[in-house]
Structure 1
């Protein structure tokens, strides 16, 4: 986990959400009590939180150390600080609550801005950079790169496609059905890279494409919001975006921010590598030598 610098520090609430699936008994009740009422947790004594979670104060201390704090006082201070950030970002309400038709425009804007800021901060703290670097190296050296993402997943995939295309990467984007993906799979070789983006990690077509690519020796990359998903296990390089897949719209919005962060990081790392290699095309400078001379692409996407 990258913990260098204040911006990259994951919030304590994010750390707790990440670890909940691994917990049981008293530790799980502590985590659920904190997540159910972060404001109260930021002010509670260790005995009060233990009583709420129906466990012992010593268990609360061990829980705090388990998620990276020296003890409960340090965890409580971090939660209180996070609550302050939340208020400053316009997060007076739970981001899991749907925005209602009666909300003022300023409230809607504050919720969206706060959601995006939190998502980026949390994602930056947990993205596995060495793994992303390996993915970027594979894309840089690939003979062909195939990208797949459907519906909302296709938004970040489409931008990644355009960015890679502009720096000379032989890349294709596929957002159509299983028949097309089956045809794509038949053309793959061990010199190709296949990247599938699917937040839930449950898309059977994405899994099938990665499985087919793996059979022929192609490098497989999964970008997702579910580390324990079937898709994550199907790929050689499993890139968790740092924000878990959610069940309500504001959580999906947060996830999309982390998707964009991941795909932007990928293409920039690829651009760096291509720029440093004289045998490859340099980073696009905004111009393109077309059949009728130089065209200005400075206003292109």
Structure 2
């Protein structure tokens, strides 16, 4: 990672960024000493909020100077500020869980009411976190590029491929020439044909899927605007992208972090899609009218079963 320990994503001005989510997404890119601090905090955030700087240094097998560097890397002036932020967030999370009885684990014997509560509560929370951290300036740039693009290429694998396909459908519906790919060879050949005025969007929760990184790098080498949709703002995918929008993700039992990121990814791309539609309002309205009439004959009349 280029630069010093102080180069981590810091608190955005005017935007509430969930502290524990920020630490979770940044820890893999941290130097080893800071990563030890992150691991201790994430393992027991409430306990960390009650700890002195000496206690936290001892529990993480580091030093007080390392704790101070960790705080500054996240945009805090010192450990006192970090403790207040941790206490505030852990208190809020505890209150929410008490009110909604939402936990992270689903046991084999749990009833569907419990399953529904855990799954829906987790998805709602992730959507809220994604909305809070979404870089609207980047969304504006992405939407503007897509609205004027000659071609748009979307690429993702596994669950991200389904998200890419959904965005393809939406953009095609408003006359944006768009293709989604889930096969690396097809995506790479398409990326090689992109150029100035085109857009390539790579979707990967981890930001470490080799094929997605390669496709975005290929598209960028030919002058296309490159966009990364990922939960990790300092991932290799983010490094090769011109524009980055981040998503929140936290797995539950039977649903990995990648699966849990789907709704957050859809939220980000839906905001982009609506912003594109705003910029192409007349074209979009005409497209909706034409496509609605085209499928009218395939819908049963009201009242008919």
TM-score by length of 2: 0.75
Shift of residue 187, structure 1, vs aligned partner: 4.5
Q: Which moved more, 1:218-227 or 1:256-265?
A: 218-227
Please show how residues 104-143 of structure 1 align to structure 2 within 5 Å: 104-143=111-150
Residue 219 (structure 1) aligned to one of 218, 225, 231: 225
Q: Which residue of 2 aligns with 1:263?
A: 269
Deviations 1:16-46 (A, max 9, x none): 2244332443x44332221111232233344
Residue aligning to 1:180: 186
Q: Name 1:102's counterpart in structure 2.
A: 109
Contact 1:288 1:296 in 2 (8 A): no
Structure 1 stretches lacking a partner, 5+ long: none
* 1:235-254 matches, cutoff 5 A: 235-237=241-243, 239-243=244-248, 249-254=255-260
Deviation at 1:247, TM superposition (A): 11
Distance in 2, Cα, partners of 1:80 & 1:89 = 14
Find 1:22's aligned residue among 30, 36, 40. 30
Asked whether the 8 Å contact 1:198–1:223 carries over to 2, the reply is yes
Please give the alpha-carbon distance, in whole angstroms, between the structure 1 residues aligned to 2:129 and 2:60: 26
In the alignment, is the contact (CA less than 8 A) between 2:37 and 2:67 conserved in 1? yes
Question: Map of 1:163-174 to 2, 5 A cutoff?
Answer: 163-174=170-181
> More helix by proportion, 1 or 2?
2
- Give the C-alpha shift of residue 172 in structure 1: 2.2
Please state if 1:196 is matched with 2:198: no
Post-superposition CA distance 1:214-262 (Å, at most 9, x none): 343333323223334443333333x242436979834234422321122
Matching residue of 1:82: 89
Change (3 A) 1:285 1:186: closer
C-alpha separation in 2, matches of 1:195 and 1:208: 12
Q: Structure 2 stretches of 5 or more lacking a match?
A: 1-10, 300-305
SS, match of residue 194 in structure 2: coil
Deviation sequence 1:89-146 (CA, Å, 0-9, x none) = 4388874x5x331234343333323322332343334333323322211111011222
Q: Deviations over 1:169-207 (max 9, x none)?
A: 1222223x3453355346434342222222233444434
Equivalents in 2 of 1:181, 1:55: separation in Å?
Answer: 45
Compute the RMSD of aligned alpha carbons. Answer: 3.6
Q: 1:281: which partner in 2?
A: 283
Q: Quote the offset at 1:271 in angstroms.
A: 1.5
Instruction: Please list the CA deviations of residues 64-91 of structure 1 after superposition, one character each: whole Å capped at 9, or x if unmatched.
Output: 4542345434433332332233234438
